[in-house]
Chains A and B, each alone.
Chain A
């Protein structure tokens, strides 16, 4: 229960930070998807099921603030959360470079699922819209690995190597 409450509060904080970033520049929330970072963080910390549920909540919030089909981002983020939890149980992903690569690959995966669903549902080109989104894997990986490193210094991460 405590974990779920913690996750909900973190998601609210992320939502507020996301809004703040949007006030600075509308391109920043596209370049860095804080929701994906936090889903992967919880998936590493609490496992694949928790990651999937956090992913579902974060994705549905993004969906409700997007003009499109409700559930598309939810599905992509759920799969990302589950995958992140499963992989992090088997491979050590906490060091800076490994977490960078991990976040990069998972963000690419999420974008492929999300854009793929969009293309399928709306018959849109796979890469329509702002091209800033192409930088999202890099900036997510950078911001996330810095965030993970800072948190690793403060708290202990659960991962395959530490078990």
Chain B
């Protein structure tokens, strides 16, 4: 065996590389979605390059558009856009939360807590294996981002959550369209509690709705319940596209999220977890 490998050094090296990858894959099994130090190291090395590349790209784009646009109008519109995004977020979250809080004092306390904890972030890179799985944003641990923080689009609809790896100025977001994502959802007007999971396409599936459930129908709006302990309740998630009764125990329900993974440019991170909000 060893004499064969000695004679065939190339094959020995290939076997070593295969073994190395097998080890990398295996050590992740007990770690779950928590990345290894090696993965975090590669991410930390290459994320500044990605950050720089996007900044250069933005600078070129900006120079090009400024050349044609009126500079002041452009800057102002950018500022207003950011402001609108921020206000939309605040508005959606607060409107949802106000339903739960009746005392004026607790509402005031909540108001200041939330407006200080919304972080605008720009998407700088999409998942290299599938755009519907995850993306990278230009905010990281410096801005206080941590694992499982909620990510929303500019209208306050649920996009996903922060996952590992997180560096000082970049973080990874797992989309709700990822096949490993699961969100506890319910119809906006109540009833039909289920789990929303992705299938690596732009359409999600609502699972565990019994075939005998008569309440859910096409066009229904789904919101988070908060039961999963990650996503706060009342966040809009998507709309039911189709409901199919199958011979099996559960219905086959397709759900269209409100955001489009291929169109997203900017998101907002809610820098609080469920326990801190409620």
Interface residues of A (CB under 8 A from B): 12, 15-16, 18-20, 22-23, 25-27, 29-30, 48-49, 52-53, 56, 60-75, 78-79, 82, 114, 118, 121-122, 124, 128-130, 133
What separation, in Å, do the CA atoms of A73 and B127 have in the docked complex? 12
Residues of B within 8 A of A16 (CB): 49, 53
How many A-B residue pairs have C-beta atoms within 8 angstroms? Tell me.
138
The complex places the Cα of A124 from the Cα of B199 at a distance, in Å, of 9
Residue of A nearest to B9 (CB): A49
Chain B nearest CB, measured from A98 CB (Å): 23
Q: Taking CB as reference atom, which chain A residue is nearest B24? A: A71
What are 21 A-B contacts with C-beta separation under 8 Å? A15-B50, A16-B49, A18-B128, A19-B53, A25-B262, A26-B126, A29-B128, A49-B14, A52-B13, A61-B42, A63-B42, A64-B39, A64-B46, A66-B129, A66-B134, A70-B38, A71-B25, A78-B18, A128-B201, A129-B132, A130-B201
Pairwise interchain contact A22-B133, C-beta atoms closer than 8 A:
no
Asked if B169 CB lies within 8 Å of chain A CBs, one says no
Chain B residue contacts of A30, Cβ below 8 A: 130-131
- Segment at the A interface, from B89-97, B172-180, B225-233: B172-180
Per DSSP, chain B at the interface is mixed
Q: Answer yes or no: B21 CB below 8 A from chain A CBs.
A: yes
Smallest Cβ distance from A112 to chain B, in angstroms?
Answer: 14
Q: Is A23's CB under 8 angstroms from B57's CB?
A: yes
A121: chain B residues within 8 A (beta carbon): 25
- Measured CB to CB, the nearest residue on chain B to A23 is B57
Beyond A26-B261, A64-B39, 13 additional contacts (C-beta under 8 Å) are: A12-B49, A22-B126, A56-B17, A56-B21, A61-B46, A63-B42, A65-B50, A66-B128, A66-B129, A67-B174, A67-B180, A70-B35, A118-B129
Interface string of B9-40 (1 = CB under 8 A from A): 01001100110111011001000010110111
Inter-subunit contact B126/A29 (CB<8 Å): yes
Of residues 250 through 278 on chain B, the ones whose CB sits less than 8 Å from some CB of chain A are 261-262
Report, nearest first, the 4 A-B pairs whose CB atoms are least far apart.
A71-B24, A67-B134, A129-B200, A75-B21
Within 8 Å by CB of B179, from A29, A114, A124, lies A124
Least Cβ–Cβ distance between B14 and chain A, in angstroms: 5
Which A-chain residue is minimally distant from B58 (CB atoms)?
A: A23
B130 nearest CB neighbor, chain A only: A129
**B54 at the A interface (CB under 8 A):** yes
Q: Is the beta-carbon distance between B127 and A72 smaller than 8 angstroms?
A: no
Chain A contact residues: helix, strand, loop or mixed: helix
Bound form: Cα–Cα A60–B172 in Å:
16
CB A97 to nearest CB in B, in angstroms, measures 28
Chain A residues positioned under 8 Å from B21 (CB to CB): 56, 71, 74-75, 78
Residues of B near A56 (CB, < 8 A) are 17, 20-21
Tell me which residues across on chain B come within 8 A of A63, comparing CB atoms. Answer: 39, 42
The reply on B43 being an interface residue by CB < 8 A is yes
Could you say which of B13, B25, B128 contacts A65, with CB atoms under 8 Å apart? B128
Q: Which chain B residues lie closer than 8 Å to A66 at the CB level? A: 127-130, 133-134
> Would B17 and A26 count as touching, CB distance under 8 A?
no
The reply to whether B50 and A19 contact each other, CB–CB distance below 8 Å, is: yes
**B165 contacts the other chain (CB 8 A):** yes
Known: A30-B131, A128-B200. A70 touches B136 (CB 8 A): no
